[in-house]
Amino acid sequence: MEQVFKRPVSLKDVQTHFCPGCHHGTIHRLVADAMDFHGVQQETIGVASVGCSVFLYGYFDIDVVEAPHGRASAVATGVKRARPDRFVFTYQGDGDLAAIGTAEIIHAANRGEDITVVFVNNTTYGMTGGQMAPTTLVGQKTSTSPYGRDRKKDGSPIKMAELLAQLGGVAYSARVAVDSPKNLIQAKKVMREAFGYQAQGKGFSFVEVLSACPTNWGMTPLKANARVGEEMIPYFQLGIFKQEGNE
């Protein structure tokens, strides 16, 4: 894929630990780019979640608080209330945000906390070895849904971006993907916009990013990248679901 941008200054010049073909690295770049764009690196406090992205302090050149699994939005709430003058974002996986952290994200969003939440949806639990996530597609086999996700017993994959868009406190909610140059350019724009909402004190902003996990999908990086477009996007539609002051 063509290189869409150079290394942002908010990103350290180090090798990441992500598996080949993992989209976390690309999403890190998008977040760093948005910080650079708004010139907020020096005043940003990041909140890391527990998942494959737990080491984000190793890659972002910013201050970071590590939250317990699922609690990043609550931790970010505390940080933002204590330092309203700072720029605060969380970076959370789908297990973290949409399973164990559901209460925290819904209430942070509903209170309209002036934070930005980056939500990485890879339809599985990456770090713990590929268990079923709340976003696992119906029929998808994982290590704890060996016969495929069953809508009747396991429920349907949760569409967080749409769900949060319904809450009063949410100013911005969107879903993007990074599987093609076109989607990547849109993702970059959306990420900048979401961070912009916070920079202007407009309230809670949320970006869901569809992400590949070749390791736990049991696919080559190329195949995994293709799956995002073939299987995920048809269900998790891309778009901006809420954009306050822009309706």
Partner 1 sequence: MSKRLFVKGNEAAAMGALEAGCRYYFGYPITPQSDIPEYLSRELPGLGGEFIQAESEVASINMLLGASACGKRAMTSSSSPGISLKQEGISYMAGSELPGVIINISRSGPGLGGIDASQSDYFQSVKGGGHGGYHIPVLAPNSVQEMYDLTMHAFDLADLYRTPVMVLGDSVVGQMKEALVPNPRPQRELPEKDWAVRGKGGGEQRVVKSLFLGDGELEAHNWKLHAKYQVMKEKEVMYETYLADDAELLVTGFGSVSRIAQTAIAMAREEGLKVGLFRPITLFPFPEKALAEAGIRAGRVLVVELNCGQMVEDVRLAVNGKAEVGFYGRPPGAGSLPSPEELLDVIRKSCARI
Partner 2 sequence: MRYDLMIAGFGGQGVLLAGNLLSYAAIEEGKNVSYFPAYGVEKRGGSATCTVVIADGAVGSPVVGNPSTLVVLNQASLERFGSKVRPGGICIYNSSLVDVSGLDRGDITLVPVPMNEIAMELGDSRMVNMVAVGAYLALVPAVGTASVAGALEQALPERNHRFIPANLKAIEAGGAAARQKKA
Ligand X SMILES: Cc1ncc(C[n+]2csc(CCOP(=O)(O)OP(=O)(O)O)c2C)c(N)n1
Which residues in this chain contact ligand X in the complex, by CB under 6 A?
50-53, 69, 93-96, 120, 122, 124-128, 133
Site for partner 1 in 109-128 (CB under 8 A): 125, 127-128
Task: From 12-20, 144-152, 163-171, 192-200, give the range in contact with partner 1 by CB under 8 A.
Answer: 144-152
3-class SS at 2?
coil
Give the span between the Cα atoms of 50 and 85, in whole angstroms: 26
Nearer of residues 10 and 145 to partner 1, judged by Cβ: 145
Angle ∠(32,49,212) on CA atoms, nearest 5: 65
Pick the binder of partner 2 from 4, 9, 16, 19 (CB under 8 A).
19
**43 binds partner 1 per the rule CB under 8 A:** no
Site for ligand SF4 in 89-128 (CB under 6 A): 122, 126-127
From residue 24, give the alpha-carbon distance in Å to each of 42, 59, 92.
Answer: 23, 11, 11
Residue 109 corresponds to which tokens in the numbers above? 């969003």
Give the span between the Cα atoms of 141 and 190, in whole angstroms: 31
Estimate to the nearest angstrom the gap between the alpha carbon of 133 and the chain centroid. Answer: 14
3-class SS at 122?
coil
Nearer of residues 37 and 235 to ligand X, judged by Cβ: 235
Task: From 1-9, 34-42, 77-85, 131-139, give the range in contact with partner 1 by CB under 8 A.
Answer: 131-139
Residues making contact with partner 2 (CB under 8 A): 17, 19, 127, 215
